Amino acid sequence: MKSEVKTIVQRCSQLEGTQHDAQQRLQLLDTDISEAKLTIQQYEAKMKLNEESLHETEHKKRALEEEMDSLKEEAASLRTQAKMYVSQLDEHKEKSANLASATEMKDALQVEMQSHREAHQRQLAELRNEITEKQSRISGLTESTQKITLAHEKLQADYDKLKSEESEKAVRLAELSLAMDRREQAKQDLKGLEETVAKELQTLHNLRKLFVQDLQTKVKKSQNKTDDDEEETMSSHAQKQKISFLENNLDQLTKVHKQLVRDNADLRCELPKLEKRLRATMDRVKSLESALKEAKEGAMRDRKRYQHEVDRIKEAVRQKNLMRRGHSAQIAKPIRAGHAPVPSQPMGIRGGGGAAAQNGPVAVRGGSSGATTTA
């Protein structure tokens, strides 16, 4: 019985140690989950900022495109007015020749405007395709973020469930420890009772010996001493009462011993179940740790992929802006009388800054007088 109690105490100490380790692991898991929550919130904030910056970039791009279109139309109208003014001046000088040159000039301007419209439509189509591609990428990143959030919620639910199970195991272990303390106290009480019973039995044995000796001597002297017989009868009655009292105490001690043996057997039956539950809890903790590690690795991979996509989108937008700034429209020179139309040098148009002519003023020569007119 003593060896069984020692083994139970050792197992209880081992269970307390494993419970302490499990609590430490649960604390580590709690910190990891809080860090993962913070990381996911940071990713969501970054995604919102990137989406807002992307929308702002799209709005700016559309505004620049509209401004570029308006500037192109304004430049075309100014060129048309200038050329019409030049043609009107030429009309006063050369009536018939200038009429033909104005018609050719108008046709050339219409061809040039048509080419500008086609180029602008191509640019709009490319920009729409690029916007569609970026929106698809953003939807993919949003879907991956939602998957990470769902995985995190599942891990949180598993963690809460494991924490509740661990609290139940802790309560059960506390009850078992209390039962072990009671058992130890009962053991000590039983030890004291055993010592008392041994003393009482020894006293009873001695009293029996004395009683037998006294009985033998009193039987021999019974015929001669009636007074002594009465005293012996009284002493024998007292001894019988004492013997009955000791027997009652012995019965009570036997009942207590049997109850303690039954309690010990119950505890021995409960101990393997608790050990099995503790092992299952430890396995669950290990599986949750591995799942959390995989979730963190997946979050890091998604973060790298997301950062790469954002950098690539920013670089593409920057390249488009540079190409848009470097884009120049084709401007036709006025057509001289009697000559074929000559392609002009490109003119750069920047958003918000107006049109800047690169080829300087246009000279118009008269047909007969040889004078030069500068517009």
Q: Strand order in 328-330's β-sheet?
A: 328-330, 346-350, 354-356
Q: Which two tokens stand for residue 61?
A: 């791009």
pTM of the model: 0.32
Q: Where are the domains of the chain?
A: 1-70+123-220+247-323
**For position 223, what pLDDT does the model report?**
59
Secondary structure in 3-state letters for 345-360? CEEEEECCCEEECCCC
CA distance 286 to 22: 10
Instruction: Judge whether 123 and 320 are in contact, CB under 8 Å.
Output: no
pLDDT tens across the length of the chain (375 residues) = 567 667 777 777 787 788 788 788 888 888 888 788 888 888 887 888 888 878 888 888 888 888 888 778 887 887 887 777 777 766 666 665 555 666 777 777 778 778 877 887 887 778 878 878 877 788 778 777 777 878 778 778 877 888 888 788 778 888 887 877 787 787 787 777 778 777 877 877 787 778 777 777 766 776 565 555 555 566 667 777 877 787 787 788 778 777 877 877 777 787 778 778 888 888 878 888 888 888 788 888 888 887 888 888 888 888 888 887 765 444 444 444 444 444 444 444 344 444 333 443 433 344 333 333 332
Measured CA distances, 174 to 8, 162, 170 (Å): 14, 18, 6
CA distance 158 to 181: 34
Which helix (H) or strand (E) segment is 285 a member of? helix 226-326
CA distance 116 to 130: 21
Residue 292: CB atoms within 10 A of its CB come to: 21
DSSP state at residue 154 = H
Measured CA distances, 164 to 31, 158, 301 (Å): 17, 10, 32
**For position 321, what pLDDT does the model report?**
83
**For position 271, what pLDDT does the model report?**
77
Write the burial class of residue 364 (CB in 10 Å: 0-12 exposed, 13-18 middle, 19+ buried). Answer: buried
**For position 44, what pLDDT does the model report?**
81
How many Å is the Cα radius of gyration of the chain? 54
Which helix (H) or strand (E) segment is 329 a member of? strand 328-330
Q: Which residue has the tokens 């012995």?
A: 250
